[in-house]
Amino acid sequence: MENILVVDDEEAIREVVSTMLESKGYRCTVAHNGRVAQEQIKRTTPDLILSDMIMPEMDGIKLLEWVREFDPDVPVIMVTAIHDISTALEAIRRGAYDYILKPFEKDQLFLGVGRALQHRRLVNENRKYQRDLEQQVEDRTARLQEALDQLEQSYDDTLEALGSALDLKDAETEGHCQRVTAFCISIAKTMPVPDTYLPILARAAFLHTAK
């Protein structure tokens, strides 16, 4: 059940709007000004905010600006009796999703609320898709890195086995591969050679000696 916060300084309007929306299956909470609405939003972030423009202590525009900072994904519909296009444009410019004039028809309210909540659902689904996609990439990268690590370990094990076989074949050169490899690494660190290249250099030295 989606939660809608109705913010208006007139109790009658809060009750009428809440009753209409609850008849459509929405859960409504109310606040009589922007300050009270702030505290409620901090406790439980609503899915949609319907706010009057002119209220004591904190008006609708200031509440709108605060909501955009607190959670920009929450749509805000401004509801006002001011029939002025410049006021509507100012609200939209500051981030309002929609603008409804009082007195409004029930169908107009339902349509605006439905669009705003659909927008929020799409935003949430898109964010979830992005998170899931990033997690999939992260998981596959981890598996690939694990496979590469296993391959490198297998390669090193093969080289070590080759060195041991050479030591058994010729006792006079026992440990020769390891000593040459250690000397090469010591020289490389003195130069210095970046640490990321040292494993490659060690394998090359070991193979060269084994030949």
How confident is the model at residue 166, as a pLDDT?
Answer: 59
Alpha carbon distance 209, 72 (integer Å) = 64
Can you give the residue range of the structural domain that contains 16? 3-131
How confident is the model at residue 171, as a pLDDT?
Answer: 56
Same domain flag for 43 and 118: yes
Mean pLDDT by 10 residues, the chain (211 residues): 93 92 94 94 95 89 93 92 76 88 86 93 89 88 86 73 62 65 78 77 67 50
- Does 20 map to a domain? yes
Quick check: 27 and 4 in contact, CB under 8 A?
yes
Contacts 24+ apart (CB under 8 A), 35-44: 36/7, 37/5, 37/7, 37/63, 38/63, 38/66, 40/5, 41/5, 41/67, 41/70, 41/71, 41/74, 42/70, 44/3
Going through 90-165 in order, the beta strands assigned E by DSSP cover 98-101
Domain final residue, candidates 77, 102, 131: 131
Total domains in the chain come to 2
- Does 139 map to a domain? no
* CATH number of the CATH domain containing 125: 3.40.50.2300
- Does 97 map to a domain? yes
Alpha carbon distance 30, 166 (integer Å) = 83
Burial zone of 34 (CB within 10 Å; 0-12 exposed, 13-18 middle, 19+ buried): buried
Quick check: 76 and 59 in contact, CB under 8 A?
no
- Does 16 map to a domain? yes
- Does 161 map to a domain? yes
Find the distance separating the first CA and the last CA of the chain, reported in whole Å.
73
Same domain flag for 21 and 113: yes
Going through the chain in order, the beta strands assigned E by DSSP cover 3-7, 27-31, 48-52, 76-80, 98-101
How confident is the model at residue 173, as a pLDDT?
Answer: 56
Considering only CA atoms, which of 119, 7, 129, 27 is closest in space to residue 73?
Answer: 119
Same domain flag for 164 and 201: yes
Alpha carbon distance 45, 31 (integer Å) = 13
Tokens 């409004």 belong to residue? 104
Quick check: 55 and 6 in contact, CB under 8 A?
no
How confident is the model at residue 207, as a pLDDT?
Answer: 66
The dihedral of CA 106, 111, 113, 114: what is its sign? positive
